[in-house]
Amino acid sequence: MCVGEAVWINGRLANPQHLPSELIAEVGHSRGVVTAVSPHHKPKRPFPTLYPPILTKGEVGMIRFKLFIFLVFTVGLVLTACASSAEPGISQEIVENVESATIYISSERGTGTGFIIDPSGIAVTNNHVVTGARSYEILIGGEGEPIRAQVLGVSECSDLALIQLEEREEEYPFLKWHEGELRLGLDVYAVGFPLGDPNMTMTRGIVSKVDTSGNTFWTAVDAAIEHDAVINEGNSGGPLISPNGEVVAINYSARGQNRNAETIRYLAIAKDEALKYISRLEQGENVDSIGISGIAVAEDGLSGVFVESLTPGSVADRAGIEEGDIITEFAGFSVAIDGTMKDYCDTLRSNDPEDVLGIRVERWVNDCHFEQRDGQLNGRKLELDQTFNTCTETATPTPTAELIKPTATPTSTSGLIWEDPFDGPLTWQSGQSAPPEIKIENGHLVVQQSPPADGGYGEVIPPDNRSFPWTPGTGLFFEADIYLSSESQTSSGADGNFSYNHWIPLANKRGMYIQCNLTRAATIDCLKGIWNWNSEPGKAEEVVMITSQTAVYDTWYNIRMTIDATANVTLFINGTAVGSYQLTSAEASEVTTIRPNFSAWSATQNKLVGYADNVRVVQFQP
């Protein structure tokens, strides 16, 4: 019997389209037609009992003969229908040929699929598979020794990339493009390496739409097809082939239109659409691209393109865009409002690659603060416009380029021991493993750390390494104004700081520091620690965080540290007490002097610039 073509009930041939739904057993379907009937079904009412009339032997024989002819004729029709509707499938030879030209792509960003289209080793994959990766590991057919490859060209908005495999003596096997008609219902096979597994898989389906919307939250393909051959993450960039092994389309999506969509859609870039770009990509041209792999976001009142990865030296990189930025405006228009890349890609396709286009990004510095930066592609580099504090819902305007000298905290100076407003010549000294550059400029101490490639730490100490005595029963306070320039910002946001410190030598090659750090992560962290130099290098024995608060670049902060007659240490930021620490009796007994200093630390080669002003030391009585 041909599956889905005929069903027998109580010895009679029935049309499955007329069967009640409860007759259909849930044992499988072939494209929605009945494949079996439940043997346990009981009709709602019994069939009527029919008593045939009495027949002669001759009449019975004639009836049997006619029934035999009828059955032979009926079975012949059924078998003919089965033969005409049967599909050839795909041969083992074609499967092996396809496998030999399909490649497994692995990088630090994940895995994907591609396929070779030329005997010289040119292969096609998706842009989102390769953009932002430093290197790739290619396995042909998912097997053998890894080979090298380089990207020739990409198209962000069509999610295409062309790569060149390493040169070798023998030609690479390759796949041909489908030359037949792309029609509804065409049998297709999805080939690739889903879920990071280098063992190739092949799933079967049909073309369910020959032309559908290709807009998703990471690309905007102009001509896409929809099919029902199952694909998963890792199938990206793999071929969708016909039964004869020719490429019908390039798989790129196993998701809905936006990130919150519940409906799964299997989408592939139509062959004709891909061929419009491939010759340009082969020449090294990047089409409809600025050098990012982006994801459209539209939630919680924010819409934009999140920069998931960035190509070094690209247009986006030269404009100052960083990984983690959110592009909110492009050429003066908001983007990704509908949760897809359509608006962004329409703008790219409407302009030439060398056009100067305005761009605005949001850059999150920490959980509370983000910056709004404006600039241009092929023009003015991104600059800070304003900083927002989402925890207090206030905006901090960008300071003027000229630093304004802060006013010293009004405090009685009757016990003033020493001060330096940095209005005269430079008397401070620079030292440690990576001594920063220091100078007096416009009444400020300027500290610039430009460390070697592996980073460095440097200190700036007062004239003659000056320290100030403290004994129990007396009190001292130290204060200074500090400022971290936005020139110091980096993409990581947590690899450096500018600090105001108080160094307290202890016995046995040990020391205590109490300090406040303005960090690249836009925080101000005040802490107390004990260091031990009995071994090289020195190491921290204890670190106690006294307070950590959000901060912003290009803003003055007044820091004051007091130690009273009972050895209680209190820290103030802009005149407000933010935390205290009680020295133990053992620690207090070892304190004899306290030395103020500044320090600059960068874990990378990135420049760090800080300013200091109005240093004072005052003695007070309890």
Instruction: Report the CATH number at residue 536.
Output: 2.60.120.200
The answer to whether residues 452 and 555 belong to one domain is: yes
pLDDT over threshold 50, residue 15: no
Three-state DSSP state, 224 = strand
DSSP E strands: which ranges in 366-415?
369-377, 383-389, 394-397
pLDDT of residue 61: 61
More confident residue, 432 or 31: 432
Domain assignment present for residue 329? The answer is yes
Report which of 394, 377, 374 is spatially closest to residue 385, judged by C-alpha positions: 374
Q: How confident is the model at residue 117 (pLDDT cuts 50, 70, 90)?
A: very high
Position 77 confidence tier, pLDDT thresholds 50, 70, 90: low
- Give the pairing of strands 568-573 and 416-420: unpaired
Verify that 165 and 268 share a domain, yes or no. yes
Tell me the one-letter amino acid at 388: F
- Phi/psi for 36 (5° steps) reads -160, 160
Q: Tell me, yes or no, whether 172 lies in a domain.
A: yes
Residue 528 forms part of a structural domain: yes
Give me the residue label for tokens 């990339």. 161
Task: Count how many residues are written for the chain.
Answer: 622
pLDDT: which is higher, 361 or 463 = 361
Residues 503 and 547 in one domain: yes
User: Do you find a cis peptide bond into 537, omega within 30 degrees of 0?
Assistant: yes
CATH number at residue 372: 2.30.42.10
**DSSP secondary structure code for residue 171 in this structure:** P
Handedness of CA 285, 291, 293, 295 (dihedral sign): negative
The C-alpha angle with vertex 479 and arms to 615 and 573, in degrees rounded to 5, equals 135
- Which residues lie closer than 8 Å to 262 by C-beta, 6 or more apart? 256
Does 68 score more than 70 pLDDT?
no
Residues 6+ apart with CB under 8 A from 497: 484, 517, 518, 519, 520, 525, 600, 601, 608
pLDDT tens figures, 556-614: 999 999 988 888 888 899 888 888 888 888 888 888 899 999 998 887 778 889 999 99
Q: What percent of the chain has pLDDT over 70?
A: 77
Task: Give kind and range of the element (H or E) at residue 113.
Answer: strand 110-116
Backbone phi, psi, residue 264, to 5°: -90, 130
Q: How many CA atoms lie within 13 A of 381 on its CB side?
A: 4
Residue 124, pLDDT score: 98
- The residues, any chain, with a CB within 8 Å of residue 201's CB and separated by 6 or more, are 191, 192, 193, 194
Residue 410 — pLDDT band, cuts 50, 70, 90? Answer: very low
Residues 344 and 438 in one domain: no
pLDDT computed for residue 587 by the predictor? 84
Residue 122 has a pLDDT of 97
Model confidence, pTM: 0.52
Residues near 457 by beta carbon (within 8 Å), at least 6 away in sequence: 432, 433, 434, 599, 600, 601
Please identify, among 397, 431, 458, the residue that sits at the C-terminal boundary of a domain. 397
The C-alpha atoms of residue 619 and residue 399 are separated, in whole angstroms, by 34
Q: Are residues 364 and 513 in the same domain?
A: no
Q: What is the pLDDT of residue 102?
A: 97
Residues in contact with 141: Cβ distance below 8 Å, sequence separation at least 6, in sequence order: 99, 100, 102, 103, 104, 200
Quick check: 379 pLDDT over 60?
yes
**What is the spatial distance between Cα 168 and Cα 143, in angstroms, rounded to a whole number?**
17
Q: Of 249, 259, 352, 261, nearest to 308 (Cα)?
A: 259
Query: Is 287 part of a structural domain of the chain?
Result: no
| Within-domain flag for 354 | yes
Residue 73 lies in a domain: yes
Residue 492 and residue 614 share a domain: yes
Does 501 reside within a domain? yes
pLDDT number for residue 456: 75
Mark whether 160 and 232 lie in a shared domain.
yes
> Radius of gyration of the chain from Cα atoms?
37
Do 468 and 330 lie in a common domain?
A: no
Residues 127 and 250 in one domain: yes
Domain count, the chain: 5
Same domain, 34 and 126: no
Which of 203-212, 416-425, 465-474 has the highest mean predicted lDDT (pLDDT)?
Answer: 203-212
CA atoms within 13 A on the CB side of 326: 19
SS3 for 274?
helix
- CATH number of the domain to which 239 belongs: 2.40.10.120
Amino acid sitting at position 349: R
Identify the CA nearest to 520 among candidates 466, 455, 601, 464.
Answer: 601
For the chain, the average pLDDT equals 80
Q: What would the pLDDT profile of 233-290 be if each residue is shown by its tens digit? A: 899 999 999 999 999 999 998 865 445 555 688 999 999 999 999 999 999 999 999 9
Q: Mark whether 468 and 382 lie in a shared domain.
A: no
Q: Is 74 left (phi over 0), alpha (psi -120 to 50) or beta?
A: alpha
pLDDT given for residue 44 in this prediction: 32
Q: Is residue 411 part of a domain?
A: no
Residues 52, 57, 60: CA angle, nearest 5 degrees: 50
431 token code pair: 């030292």
Do 166 and 300 share a structural domain?
no
Question: Domain residues for 2?
Answer: 1-46
